């Protein structure tokens, strides 16, 4: 009971800053501290959001962005796990691949856009590649770290039980590396989502990033704010969903060990 009360209080504290910012926004708009064209009122933004939902415009652009991030993230995360596992299991692969990979990782994701535009154009392929690159780096590095940090005693037990290499990987190494891999997946999804918005800002005619650019060009600040809110809500929801999945897997793992 006491812990529940403390959690409720902690959640209440977390809401103080958003509530304060909303109140400040409302006061600034009603008092006319800034022109309506620069800072539309919360009520006006809410009406715009309702209109965009009723026409389906907001759902359409959000759906386009989500479809892109799902495909790009799936490709980047899959490749990242494969490369991370390969480097983690083989010193030779690490020696050959890791230096080049770290150099590749140092180049910002959006820094690849000019080159890729020349190679693949500005259509969907460009967006998928940029999103995949955003997910690839954190997933690879965290998968590699998780495999290399498997406790030595676990490996000694597997040798004592005469596990094959495949059994050791499946029953010992990968389960032990799950927390680190999930951390990489969460970071990878965050990077993929921000990379998506970035590439849509530069080269897209649909999607939430496009809404930001279109609203800025037309000086529709209400549209810009709506797009920002939706981007933040979707990103927050995806991160919380992965966090819940990680908690469930850890509980299942603990029960299995017991």
Residue 26 falls inside a structural domain: no
Q: How many domains does the chain have?
A: 1
pLDDT for res 258? 54
Residues 6+ apart with CB under 8 A from 48: 40, 222, 223, 226
pLDDT for res 133? 92
What does the pLDDT look like over 7-48, one tens digit per residue?
544 455 667 877 887 788 778 777 777 777 777 878 888 888
Query: 2 pLDDT exceeds 60?
Result: no
Tokens 């920002």 -> residue: 228
What does the pLDDT look like over 87-103, one tens digit per residue?
988 889 988 998 999 88
Domain that includes residue 232, residue range: 44-257
What does the pLDDT look like over 225-255, one tens digit per residue?
898 889 888 888 888 888 887 777 666 655 5
Residue 7 falls inside a structural domain: no
Q: Report whether 86 contacts 93 (CB < 8 A).
A: yes
pLDDT for res 8? 47
Global pTM?
Answer: 0.80
Residue 20 falls inside a structural domain: no
Q: Report whether 208 contacts 228 (CB < 8 A).
A: no
Alpha-carbon distance 81 to 83, whole Å? 6
CATH code for the domain of 247 = 1.10.3720.10
SS (H, E, C) 192-248: HHHHHHHHHHHCCCCCHHHHHHHHHHCCCHHHHHHHHHHHHHHHHHHHHHHHHHHHH
Q: Report whether 188 contacts 136 (CB < 8 A).
A: yes
Residue 241 falls inside a structural domain: yes
Alpha-carbon distance 82 to 29, whole Å? 52
């Amino acid at each position: 009971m006491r812990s529940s009360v403390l959690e409720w209080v902690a959640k209440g504290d977390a809401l103080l800053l958003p509530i304060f910012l909303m109140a400040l926004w409302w006061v600034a708009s009603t008092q006319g501290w800034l022109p309506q064209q620069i800072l539309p009122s919360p009520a006006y933004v809410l009406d715009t959001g309702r209109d965009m939902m009723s026409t389906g415009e907001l759902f359409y652009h959000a759906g386009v962005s989500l479809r892109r991030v799902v495909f790009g993230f799936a490709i980047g995360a899959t490749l990242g796990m494969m490369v991370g596992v390969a480097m983690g299991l083989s010193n030779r692969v690490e020696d050959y691949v890791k230096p080049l990979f770290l150099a590749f990782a140092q180049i910002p994701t959006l820094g690849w856009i000019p080159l890729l535009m020349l190679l693949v154009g500005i259509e969907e392929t460009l967006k998928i590649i940029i999103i995949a690159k955003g997910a690839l780096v954190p997933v690879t590095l965290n998968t590699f770290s998780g495999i290399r940090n498997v406790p030595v005693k676990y490996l000694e037990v597997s040798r004592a039980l005469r596990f094959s290499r495949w059994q050791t990987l499946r029953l010992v190494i990968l389960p032990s590396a799950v927390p680190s891999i999930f951390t990489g997946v969460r970071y990878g999804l965050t990077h993929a989502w921000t990379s998506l918005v970035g590439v849509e800002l530069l080269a897209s005619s649909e999607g939430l990033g496009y809404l930001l650019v279109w609203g800025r060009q037309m000086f529709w600040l209400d549209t810009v704010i709506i797009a920002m809110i939706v981007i933040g809500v979707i990103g927050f929801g995806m991160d919380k969903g992965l966090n819940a999945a990680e908690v469930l897997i850890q509980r299942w793992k603990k029960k299995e060990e017991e």
